[in-house]
Amino acid sequence: MDLNVCVKFTYTIRLLRQVFHKIKNRGTPKNELRLLNPA
């Protein structure tokens, strides 16, 4: 598989998961920040 396709696929999955979490627990900025930088 092409590396570019792999990267795009992973990015899309990540984006979908973020959106799903946003819908799941609406209006929780702390959770969003934790998703963006897990450090």
Write the pLDDT tens digit of every residue in 2-36.
889 989 999 999 999 988 887 776 755 665 566 66
CB 25 within 8 A of CB 31: yes
Q: What is the helix, strand, coil percentage profile of the chain, to 5? A: 75, 0, 25
1, HSE (Cβ side, Cα atoms, 13 Å): 8
pLDDT exceeds 70 at position 1: no
The pLDDT score that the predictor gives to residue 34 is 66
pLDDT exceeds 60 at position 39: no
Give CA–CA dist 24/27, Å, rounded: 9
The pLDDT score that the predictor gives to residue 11 is 94
